[in-house]
């Protein structure tokens, strides 16, 4: 009986530890990054890329993004203790020690680099390493606690997966992946600022100079509108640069109008001193990016079939 209880306790402990390590990788962010990588590979191939190449890229990309997320959790462990949104993270609760987190993050970084180096090419490998270094050193260590534009530069880190996906397929970069990078870079502020608006008390308590903390709601609203417009313009630029077909053009235009209208709605409510309902735009921005990159994949397949 005692042995059975010990076995059950060990199993539960292992599951909790496993979940804690997964949480370190910020799986929701990882999912988003991987979701833009696959359509990019379809566009780079102008059809269906090798399944083996897709799986390798997803594996390497997941580990690379996970490493960056784990390093970020280690760096931010002091401010995570001060914010309700992050007080359940493993390094705050003590489920994982600081040393374990560093070893885990470093291991993921090394394994992801080896995967890219062995199974893809040196350009994709270099971009993967650069993505980790940028997110950890430039964003997490240098900018996040020093500038209200921190999340803008965080968007640059989020744009690396499309460059990596393109490089894996073609071993080169053209204007098309640069525009894809630009879309994600410009999309990040109107995506994340509404979330930081919702949790601005947390960021204020942690002394993080998010734009929603150090600027008034009118300025934040204007910035969100401007970046939303810029995102939509960049998405339409892809029609010329790639070039894209009717499927992508139609989705980019309709989804773009939707995105812009909702950003103006948030701004309108803000200047009237009403509840801007920021999470509405946050969730919509996720849907927008999903539609854009799904349209990229479908357009590449349709172009392959009919042209």
In a domain, 40, yes or no: yes
Mean pLDDT of the chain, nearest integer: 90
Is the pLDDT assigned to residue 304 strictly greater than 80?
Answer: no
pLDDT in tens, 133-188: 999 999 999 989 999 888 888 889 899 999 999 999 999 999 999 999 999 999 99
The answer to whether the CB of 98 falls within 8 A of the CB of 74 is yes
For residue 47, give the DSSP letter. S
In a domain, 70, yes or no: yes
In a domain, 10, yes or no: no
In a domain, 19, yes or no: no
pLDDT of 8 reads 45
pLDDT in tens, 249-259: 999 999 999 99
pLDDT in tens, 68-126: 999 999 999 999 998 888 888 999 999 999 999 999 999 999 999 999 999 999 999 99
Q: What is the CATH number of the domain that holds 234?
A: 1.10.357.140
pLDDT > 90 fraction of the chain, expressed in percent and rounded: 68
In a domain, 243, yes or no: yes
In a domain, 4, yes or no: no
pLDDT band at residue 28 under the 50/70/90 scheme: confident
What's the domain count of the chain?
1
In a domain, 162, yes or no: yes
The answer to whether the CB of 160 falls within 8 A of the CB of 130 is yes
pLDDT of 7 reads 44
Give the closest residue to 283 by CA, choosing from 193, 191, 212. 191
User: Residue 146 corresponds to which tokens in the numbers above?
Assistant: 């020093």
The answer to whether the CB of 220 falls within 8 A of the CB of 212 is yes
Instruction: Tell me the backbone φ, ψ of residue 240, rounded to 5 degrees.
Output: -85, -40
Range of the domain at 163: 24-306
For residue 86, give the DSSP letter. G
Mean pLDDT within 226-243: 95
User: Residue 28 corresponds to which tokens in the numbers above?
Assistant: 């929701």
Is the pLDDT assigned to residue 209 strictly greater than 70?
Answer: yes
Q: Compute the distance between CA of residue 61 and CA of residue 204 in angstroms, rounded to an integer.
A: 33
In a domain, 232, yes or no: yes
């Amino acid at each position: 009986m005692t042995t059975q209880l010990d076995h059950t306790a060990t199993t539960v402990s292992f599951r909790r530890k496993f979940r804690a390590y997964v949480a370190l990788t910020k799986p929701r962010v990882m999912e988003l990054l991987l979701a833009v990588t696959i359509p990019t590979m379809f566009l780079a191939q102008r059809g269906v890329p090798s399944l083996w190449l897709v799986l390798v890229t997803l594996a390497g990309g997941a580990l690379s993004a996970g490493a960056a997320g784990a390093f970020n959790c280690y760096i931010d462990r002091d401010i995570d203790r001060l914010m309700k949104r992050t007080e359940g993270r493993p390094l705050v609760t003590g489920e994982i020690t600081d040393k374990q987190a560093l070893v885990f993050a470093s291991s993921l970084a090394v394994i992801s680099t080896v995967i890219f180096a062995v199974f893809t090419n040196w350009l994709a490998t270099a971009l993967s390493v650069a993505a980790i270094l940028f997110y950890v050193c430039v964003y997490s260590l240098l900018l996040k606690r020093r500038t209200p534009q921190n999340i803008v530069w965080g968007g640059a880190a989020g744009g690396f997966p499309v460059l990596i996906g393109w490089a894996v397929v073609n071993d080169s970069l053209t204007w098309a992946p640069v525009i894809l990078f630009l879309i994600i870079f410009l999309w990040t502020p109107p995506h994340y600022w509404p979330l930081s608006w919702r949790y601005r008390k947390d960021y204020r308590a942690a002394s993080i100079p998010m734009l929603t903390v150090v600027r008034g709601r009118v300025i934040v609203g204007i910035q969100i509108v401007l970046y939303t417009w810029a995102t939509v313009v960049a998405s339409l630029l892809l029609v010329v640069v790639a070039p894209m077909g009717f499927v992508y053009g139609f989705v980019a235009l309709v989804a773009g109008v939707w995105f812009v209208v909702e950003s103006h709605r948030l701004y309108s409510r803000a200047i009237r001193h009403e509840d801007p309902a920021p999470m509405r735009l946050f969730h919509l921005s996720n849907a927008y990016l999903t539609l854009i990159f799904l349209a990229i994949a479908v357009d590449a397949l349709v172009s392959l079939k009919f042209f």
